[in-house]
Each structure stands twice: as structure tokens, then as C-alpha cells.
Chain A
């Protein structure tokens, strides 16, 4: 496993405050409407502290960081 954590955004909660892009520009940019664009969800160990800070800063708790290291293959989920 190359990375140990993964970022995800709950777009239904996100209000486009933009703090995440300020605190984690290595991974997150903003689109023309001010909503985050996840350039790469994988967070290497060197960036986990920054990522945690960005997660904590989000006023609506829309940014999430989940561990991926020990989980093997992700089970396919029904989705359209």
C-alpha cells in the first residue's frame, strides 16, 4: 500500500467555504463556483497532519479522511 489515508467530500453538506483548499493545496483546489476539487484522494504519511487540520477546519464537516492501509480490496457496491 502506497498511501494510508484517503480524502472524500460530502458534496451535499459542503457549502464552498474553501478552507480545505487553503489548508491542503497539495490535494484540493477550487472550481469556479468555489467548491473543492479533489486532485488526488490519496494522502501520503507526509501530508496526514495537514489533511487532519483541513478536516477539522471545515465548518460543516464535509471533508473526511479515512484510513485505507489495512483494508484490502474494496467490495464493489451497487451504484448507478
Chain B
């Protein structure tokens, strides 16, 4: 460990923002990093180090999962490593969050950092197979990744088998039990827990599931150590994180910022707002609306997504459309999700575009209380969180809509880019 950081992170390079680690090569060269360049910059992944060393380093680094849950990666790795029998690693590159592009960007620009991280995690967990899962809709990317894996195999740098899979791309298909279920030959639908994947996953084996960005950080921690990792971010939220910025900001795109950066600072990285904002959606469709003016201390959390909503947009219409999409994406297994999320979406549609009576908000409040904790996965919980935050942050708009009907912006083109709210057909889950 503790390789020299000077070759990889040439500090005097003025093109590179201070916070760039994963995206350093991109800023320095302006192109994707191939295997030769990757090896020249970072050297080979230290897969030979003792099994416990990597889990230790990741734990001391304080790395938390970048797939949205924020679970401590080191602890998860240690748990899987400590279970009986050979393990399996899943790299989650599905990125079903519609407002996020970070995983796609990462896999395009630095695929070998992700692959290094997955292979290192496999070595540490005692796994001999890595499954890299990407959405079927991004088939060109999947092909490029398969070539990258072949190239590594020819170079003989991976001690484990790495397989690239293309899965159905529905919102809940990227949830970890859905990935496991698909890899086991079933539909990409979440399954009830326990057992969680770390107990019994692919082929009934203990399975370590991590987001691809999380794995890329693992690849750097394995080389430069936990202290280096902690030089960015705060003691509670160390490291850097990728965030996708969109909406009313100067330069929308994917940025790398210190973990725990205040939302305002993250927006500034993309040139700041282009108009006066009313709110920011933090964490995407699975996140919450934050009111503007922003709490200066509020950190950018969630699945690394920030959408800046301008004052001349209707937050209720945006939320109603997002909820309609989430409702369509239920795997239709659990009653409270299957009926509850669409009902809440219908209520919101009435609130945004219809003639809502005063009874509507009461009904919404009651229905929102009936979603959390009542599904095999946390899809209903996420939808409820988004809806509840909208009612709170846009409470003045709620009152106006109830009293006077839709506001003048309710029918404007949406700021959020919302995929088709079409429920997948039965055969589309496989």
C-alpha cells in the first residue's frame, strides 16, 4: 500500500480541479483511460495483499456506499469475507435513477478503476467471480466493458473471472436482491429479505454487492491508503463523490466534489444557478426536495444527484410526474407498493393539474403513512419520501393549488427529465 501519489495525481496540472480523484485522468487528458494508460498511471491493482488488509483499509478510510444507501463498505466486505464458503461480487452499474449519469460516466472514462476495485473486493471477500451488471439500454457501453475485461484477461492481471451482464432497466431492477434474482435465472425483481445477499446471494453464496463508484474508490484506497482517502471530505464523510447536476444551472453534468459538500457549493462547481431557484432535488427520484435559500450546512446526500428547480417552475407538477413514473415502476409484487404508490401519484396529479378539494391533502397524508416499510424493497419508502418532502417544501403552492387550481406554470415543460411511465410487461423483467 501507500504507492506514490505523484504520478497519478500531478498537482501542478492546472486543468484538474483539486477535488478530482476518480476523474483526474479525464481532466488531465480529456479522454477515456485505456488499460495501458491506466497501468502507467496507477500500476497494477495490489491483489496480492493479505485478505484482511483491504477490508481493514476500506474500513479505516470510512468509505460509505455510493449507490444511495451509504452503508459502510468495509464492514460489508468484512461480513461477506467472514462467512463460510466461496463468495461472489456484484458490481452494480445499473444506475436506474433517471437524473443520474455518474455511473455511466465513470464506466466510460475509467473502466479499469471500477474493474480493479471489483477484483480487489473479490480477493478480499474470497470470491472467484465478479458480475458487472449494466443496463441493457446501454449496450454499447456493455460491449466496451466486455472488451476491457478481455484485455485484462489477456494481460493476466485478474486472478478472478469477471463477467459483464446486461439486465432489464426498470427502476427497481437495480436493487440488490433483484440483481441476485436475475443472476440466479429469475426476473429482475426485488425479493423479500432475509436472506440478504451477503447471507445468501448468487448460487446461494455470500454475495458482496457494491455500486461501481464505491468500487472505484476501493481501487484507490488499496493503492494510497485510508489516510490519503481522508484528505478529502470531512471526518464523518470522508473522500470525494460523484454528483450529477442538472436543471437551472450553467454547466449541467457529472462532477467530483468532496463528500459532504454543502449543496450550494456543489451547484457552484457547475457554474451556479442560471435563474432564481425555489428548491433543489437532492438524491433524485429517491431523494427529497430542499428549500431555497439552502441551509448552508445541508450536505449533498443521496445517490449523487442534484436538480436545480427555478422559481418559475411548478414543484408540484414536477413531483407528480416523478411519482407517476415511480408508480409505473413497481414490480407489482407487494400490494402496498402496487396500489399505494400509484394512488399517491394520482393524488399528486390531482393536486398539480386538477381541482383538488381540501380533503385531498388529508388523504395524501394518510396514504403516505402507509408506504414506508411495507415492501420487499424500499421502493415505496423512496416514493413516500419524495412526496412528503414536496408537500413540505412547496406547502404554499399546495394551498394555492387547493384554493385556485393549477398555477400558471403547472403545464410548462418539466425541468426533470422523466422516462416513460409505462409499466414493464411481464416478459420485460427477464
- Name A residues whose Cβ lies closer than 8 Å to a Cβ of B: 9-16, 31-35, 37, 77-80
Distance A37 CA – B366 CA, assembled complex (angstroms): 13
Chain A CB within 8 A of B337 CB: yes
Task: Known A11-B375, A31-B370; judge A80-B71 contact (CB<8 A).
Answer: yes
A77 to B374: give the CA distance in the assembly, Å: 18
Set A10, A32, A35, A78: member contacting B69, Cβ < 8 A? A78
> What's the minimum C-beta distance from B202 to chain A, rounded to whole angstroms?
16
Interface of B: prevailing SS:
loop
User: With A12-B376, A79-B71 known to touch, is A33 a contact of B340 (CB < 8 Å)?
Assistant: yes
Q: How many A-B residue pairs lie within 8 Å, measured between CB atoms?
A: 64
Measured CA separation A11–B176 after assembly (Å) = 17
A3 to B176, CA, bound (A): 32
Q: Which residue from chain A places its CB closest to the CB of B373 in the assembled complex?
A: A38
Residues of B within 8 A of A (CB): 65, 67-69, 71, 75-76, 79, 175-176, 190-194, 196, 198, 333-337, 339-340, 343, 367, 370, 374-376, 378
CB of A79 within 8 A of CB of B69, answer: yes
Q: A11's closest neighbor in chain B, by CB?
A: B334
When distances are taken between beta carbons in the complex, the residues of chain B under 8 Å from A37 are 370, 374
Minimum C-beta distance from B403 to chain A (A): 27
Name the residue on B nearest A34 (C-beta): B335
Which chain A residue has the least Cβ–Cβ distance from B375?
A: A11
Return chain B residues, CB-CB under 8 Å to A16. 335
B178 CB → nearest A CB, Å: 12
24 contacts between A and B (CB under 8 A): A9-B374, A11-B333, A11-B335, A11-B375, A12-B191, A12-B334, A12-B375, A13-B192, A14-B335, A15-B335, A31-B336, A32-B367, A33-B335, A33-B336, A33-B340, A34-B335, A35-B336, A77-B193, A78-B69, A78-B71, A78-B76, A78-B79, A79-B193, A80-B67
Residues in A neighbouring B194, C-beta threshold 8 A: 77
| A36: min CB distance to chain B, Å | 9
A77, B335: Cβ atoms closer than 8 Å: no
Contact in complex: A80, B69 (CB < 8 Å): yes
- The residue of chain B having its C-beta at the shortest distance from the C-beta of A37 within the complex is B370
CB of A79 within 8 A of CB of B374, answer no
Sorted nearest first, the 5 A-B pairs with minimum C-beta distance are: A80-B69, A11-B334, A35-B335, A33-B339, A12-B376
**Are B71's CB and A11's CB within 8 A?**
no
Residues on B with beta carbons closer than 8 Å to the beta carbon of A78: 69, 71, 75-76, 79, 196, 198
Of chain A, the residue at the smallest CB distance from B69 is: A80
A30 to chain B, nearest CB (A): 10
Query: Which of A12, A31, A35, A77 has the most chain B CB within a 10 Å cutoff?
Result: A12
State how many angstroms separate the Cβ of B368 from the closest Cβ of chain A. Answer: 12
A79 and B335 contact, Cβ closer than 8 Å, known pairs A33-B340, A37-B370: no
Residues of B within 8 A of A14 (CB): 334-335
- The minimal Cβ–Cβ distance linking B41 to chain A, given in whole angstroms, is 32
In angstroms, Cα B334 to Cα A34, docked, is 12
Given contacts A11-B335, A78-B75, 12 further A-B contacts (CB under 8 A): A11-B333, A11-B334, A11-B376, A14-B334, A15-B335, A31-B336, A33-B343, A35-B374, A37-B370, A78-B71, A78-B79, A80-B175
The docked-state distance in angstroms from the alpha carbon of A34 to that of B176 is: 28
A73 to chain B, nearest CB (A): 15
Q: Do residues B196 and A77 form an inter-chain contact, with CB atoms below 8 A?
A: yes
- Report whether A80 and B378 are in contact in the complex, using a CB–CB cutoff of 8 Å: yes
Give the complex CA separation of A35 and B343 in angstroms: 14
Most chain B beta-carbon contacts within 10 A, residue among A11, A32, A37? A11
Instruction: Kindly state the separation between the CA atoms of A79 and B190 in the bound complex, as whole angstroms.
Output: 13
Shortest distance between the CB of B136 and any CB in chain A (Å): 22
B385 CB to nearest chain A CB (Å): 12
**Smallest Cβ-Cβ distance to B195: which chain A residue:** A77
Per the bound structure, the CA–CA distance linking A14 and B67 in Å amounts to: 29
**How far is A10 from B377 in the complex, measured between Cα atoms in Å?**
11
Residues of chain A with a CB closer than 8 A to B67's CB: 80
